[in-house]
């Protein structure tokens, strides 16, 4: 069989691998081809099936044997996106598969040449041919993206469980549960140097990859509001293909709330914002300021010119509703269930009053 036919079948195996990823399984896919015809597919599914043997190859071998009505898979080629493990290679040898074609090598568990080569053992081999490296980069990239995303998610979960500092409060999630028009997934960061363990909440919607046409809108709330003021903007800006990030300043929204008023200085909030912008590695950012947000954020584009665009105004979609003052009631009060959690409100009032006097 020539190279392009192998590529064709491997693409079908890749489609199976993608389907596995969507189910939360490690993305490995397989197909079995008999005399030039596709007779079976399989995707990795051990987690969902509570089945340690549910590797893509085993699933595909079982389906192929059912299709042929024979446990011997004569004249069959099995395509799989990842070098097979010992279990699957054993099964393929038992099934007398004529040829095995795999994509990416697996340095940890692959036994078609990486860790060892079961197919080259003269005592075991039934002349099963092996070929690796077909669409290897694509197969490996799919696995890489899956594990990167999973690490990211695990990190986010670890942060979500992050213990609260003794001198701070954390507004219970239930306070935000019934707010309308705020379906956005929470993002947290707690390991910026300036945060000293406090947990900062932010929204991050739209495409993450910076391109030379996309814009990142950095939407900063004024006080006493929080990221909720941007709820009507997020759908409009993300629909236009932009990324939107909107933090809750420490003391506001879903971010941790130090109990002492004296914790809050403009310099400290500005430092947190700078470290947060660095952490998100924002590119081509445009700053949007709501209310008095300029007190904390106005200097960001000046201090970090490499991350901000010069002339953003022309790009704002025309159909954005004007930013409002948050209505009295649930949305305004949600982050502040008691007096202790209102330290930031008192502190900002004082800080801004003092600045006016200067």
Catalytic residues: 57
Q: Min. distance of Cβ 34 from Zn ion in angstroms?
A: 21
Selected range binding Zn ion among 51-59, 237-245, 247-255, 292-300, rule: CB under 5 A? 51-59
Give the contact letters, 188-227, x = binds to Zn ion (CB under 5 A), - = no. Answer: ----------------------------------------
Cα gap 353→192, rounded to integer Å: 29
Our finding on whether 85 is near Zn ion (CB under 5 A) is: yes
- Are 203 and 234 contacting, i.e. CB atoms less than 8 angstroms apart? yes
Near Zn ion by CB under 5 A: residue from 55, 201, 269, 290: 55
Q: 85 or 273: whose CB is closer to Zn ion? A: 85
Tokens coding 346: 């008192």
Residue with tokens 């236009």: 240
Near Zn ion by CB under 5 A: residue from 26, 88, 95, 139: 88
* Of residues 91, 77, 89, the one with CA closest to residue 121: 89
Task: Please provide residue 356's backbone torsions phi and psi, each rounded to the nearest 5 degrees.
Answer: -65, -35
- Are 131 and 101 contacting, i.e. CB atoms less than 8 angstroms apart? yes
Our finding on whether 112 is near Zn ion (CB under 5 A) is: no
Q: Min. distance of Cβ 100 from Zn ion in angstroms?
A: 12
**CA 317 vs CA 204, 240, 322: distances in Å:** 19, 8, 12
Cα gap 58→49, rounded to integer Å: 13
The 3-state secondary structure of 107-157 reads CCCCCECCCCEHHHCCCCCCCCEEECCCCHHHHHHHHHHHHHHHHHHHHHH
Selected range binding Zn ion among 54-62, 155-163, 168-176, 190-198, rule: CB under 5 A? 54-62
Q: How many residues bind Zn ion (CB under 5 A)?
A: 3
Our finding on whether 62 is near Zn ion (CB under 5 A) is: no
Residues 6 or more apart whose Cβ sits within 8 Å of residue 193: 275
Q: 53 or 121: whose CB is closer to Zn ion? A: 53
Q: 108 or 356: whose CB is closer to Zn ion? A: 108
Selected range binding Zn ion among 88-96, 164-172, 188-196, 197-205, rule: CB under 5 A? 88-96
Q: 85 or 293: whose CB is closer to Zn ion? A: 85
* Residues at the site binding Zn ion, with contacts judged by CB under 5 A: 55, 85, 88
């Amino acid at each position: 069989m020539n190279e392009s036919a192998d590529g064709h079948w491997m693409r079908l195996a890749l489609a199976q691998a993608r389907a596995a990823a969507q189910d939360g399984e490690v993305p490995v896919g397989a197909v079995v081809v008999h005399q030039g015809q596709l007779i079976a597919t399989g995707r990795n599914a051990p987690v969902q099936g509570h089945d340690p043997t549910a590797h893509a190859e085993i699933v595909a071998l079982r389906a192929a044997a059912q299709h042929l009505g024979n446990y011997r898979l004569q004249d069959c080629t099995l395509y799989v996106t990842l070098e097979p493990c010992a279990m699957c290679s054993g099964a393929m040898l038992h099934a007398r598969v004529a040829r095995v074609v795999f994509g990416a090598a697996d340095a940890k568990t692959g036994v078609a040449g990486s860790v060892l080569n079961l197919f080259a053992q003269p005592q075991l081999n039934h002349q099963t041919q092996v070929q690796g490296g077909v669409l290897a980069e694509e197969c490996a990239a799919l696995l890489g993206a899956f594990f990167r995303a999973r690490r990211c998610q695990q990190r986010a979960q670890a942060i979500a469980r992050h213990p609260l500092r003794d001198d701070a409060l954390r507004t219970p999630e239930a306070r935000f549960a019934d707010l309308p028009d705020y379906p956005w997934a929470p993002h947290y960061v707690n390991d910026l140097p300036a945060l000293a363990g406090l947990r900062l909440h932010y929204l991050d919607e739209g495409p993450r990859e910076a391109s030379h046409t996309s814009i990142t809108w950095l939407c900063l709330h004024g006080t006493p509001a929080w990221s909720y003021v941007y709820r009507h903007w997020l759908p409009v800006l993300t629909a236009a293909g932009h990324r939107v990030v909107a933090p809750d300043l420490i003391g506001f929204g879903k971010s941790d709330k130090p109990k002492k008023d004296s914790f809050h200085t403009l310099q400290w909030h500005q430092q947190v914002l700078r470290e947060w912008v660095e952490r998100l590695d924002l590119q081509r950012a445009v700053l949007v300021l709501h209310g008095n947000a300029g007190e904390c954020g106005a200097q960001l584009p000046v201090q970090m010119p490499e991350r901000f665009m010069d002339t953003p105004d022309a790009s704002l979609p025309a159909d954005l509703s004007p930013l409002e003052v948050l209505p009295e009631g649930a949305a305004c009060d949600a982050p502040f269930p008691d007096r202790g959690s209102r330290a930031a409100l008192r502190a900002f009032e004082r800080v801004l009053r003092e600045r006016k006097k200067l």
